[in-house]
Amino acid sequence: MVSFGESHGNAVGVLIEGIPAGTEIDEKRINEWLARRKPSTSLASTKRKEDDIVEILSGVYRGKATGAPFVAIVRNKGYVDDFYSFAEEGWVRPGHADYPAYVKYKGFNDPRGGGRFSARITVGFVIAGAIAEEILKPLRIEVVGYTKSIGPIECPDLDIENARKRYEFETRCPSAEHDALMQEEILKAKREGDSLGGTIRIITGKLPVGLGQPVFSSLDSELAKAYFSIPAVKGVEIGAGFRASKLRGSQNNDIYVLRNNEITTLTNNAGGILGGMTNGQPLIATIAFKPVSSIYKPQRTVNIKKMEEGILQLKGMHDACVVPRAVPIAEALTYFVLADMALRGGFISER
């Protein structure tokens, strides 16, 4: 996958190679995926409104993948450049990539809306995930993500059956009680000109055994690489994750048993992955997001052009919490990594 575009450029998009010829490419389904990452109408989400309608440029004929590189874009229309005059003046925003980007690209990078570092580029990830979902249909793989926590509010662990209804809730937390508390927390932060972080839990049904590779192309390392490509992600856990560091081996090991003449485990601390490969259990991953860096409180910073300190107070259209909007992005990248591993491992034919 090759991602391209900037927040305030003409478009953002994606190039994908290796889609099996004959794979159904359903534009309506892709647009349904894109609609999931749009900002909420009731939560403290960005006021930037985009149509987010996919335009397929190549790699599809009569609704099927041709086997040639697939290229698709989504036009940018809802941005306002006036909010970013501070960037032209040389002020760098705390928590953003402005400073390292200015140094790395010698000031030639597009700073508007974060440019290449904006979450707007995740549109391409979602398009890729919609196609990967179709590729994985022969394996009947289902990926479900939900908001596990926002700020101090945390939802209990849910199984895939109870998590499926996440899109019925504003925060994508499929618990009415915790959804209400999370909404209240987000709106409170917004009123105070501040922001919140949180976590997303990814779960699947049982996966085929042996999906993945050892060492550098391990399934968990590929998933982590994908998740860390989402702006604001600062941590990834597989299974018990950091909690496993506090356990003994006798507590952490997932005991094998036979059930209906099939091998399974009594627990899933491994999160469905051992030695970089699936072990037949559900994949479980938790992704941590930092608070949104664009806040409305005045902050001390530096003008990189004048080399002087000052106070910067942002204007513009910003989310108070990106976690709910990131749920379909995390799902999409999970589908993409699993599809890539399935094709590379021969679990799905090239047709």
Q: What is the pLDDT of residues 282-325, one digit of tens each?
A: 999 999 999 999 999 999 999 999 999 999 998 877 889 999 99
Say yes or no to pLDDT of 46 above 90.
no
Report pLDDT for 88. Answer: 84
Q: What residues does 302 pair with on adjacent strands?
A: 309
Whether the per-residue pLDDT at 43 is higher than 70: the answer is no
pLDDT level of residue 213 (50, 70, 90 thresholds): very high
Query: What pLDDT is stored for residue 166 in this prediction?
Result: 97
pLDDT attached to residue 48: 56
- What is d(CA 284, CA 203) in angstroms, rounded to the nearest whole number? 5
The answer as to CATH 3.60.150.10 being correct for domain 2-344 is yes
Stretch 46-55: mean pLDDT:
76
With beta carbons less than 8 A apart as the criterion, state whether 171 and 324 touch.
Answer: yes
What is the pLDDT at residue 42? 58
In the chain, DSSP finds a helix count (H) and a strand count (E) of: 9, 17
CB 74 within 8 A of CB 53: yes
Structure tokens belonging to residue 16: 């994908």
pLDDT digits (tens, 9 = 90+) for 226-271: 999 999 999 999 999 999 999 999 999 999 999 999 999 999 999 9
Query: In this predicted structure, what is the pLDDT of residue 302?
Result: 96
How many other CB atoms are there within 10 angstroms of residue 168's CB atom?
10
Question: How does pLDDT run across 136-193, given as a tens digit for each residue?
Answer: 999 999 999 999 999 999 999 999 999 999 999 999 999 999 999 999 999 999 999 9
Per-position b or e across 155-164, b if 16+ CB within 10 A of its CB:
beebebeebe
pLDDT band per the 50, 70, 90 thresholds, residue 351: low
Q: How far apart are CA 322 and CA 4, in angstroms?
A: 21
**What Rg value do the Cα atoms of the chain yield, rounded?**
21
Is pTM beyond 0.75? Reply is yes
Of 227, 198, 236, whose CA–CA distance to 321 is shortest? 198
**Which residues touch 62 (CB under 8 Å, ≥6 apart)?**
none
CA neighbours within 13 Å on the CB side: how many for 345? 22
Distance CA 312, CA 58 (A): 44
Q: For residue range 53-102, list pLDDT tens digits in order.
A: 999 999 999 999 999 999 999 999 866 666 778 888 999 999 999 999 99
Q: Does residue 280 carry a pLDDT above 60?
A: yes
Return the domain boundaries, the chain.
2-344
Owner of token pair 């400073």: 99
Question: Which structure tokens are listed for 215?
Answer: 């060492």
CB contact burial 219-229 (16+ within 10 A = b; e otherwise):
bbbbbbebbee
10 Å CB burial of residue 95 (0-12, 13-18, 19+) is middle
pLDDT 10s digits, 338-350: 999 999 999 997 6
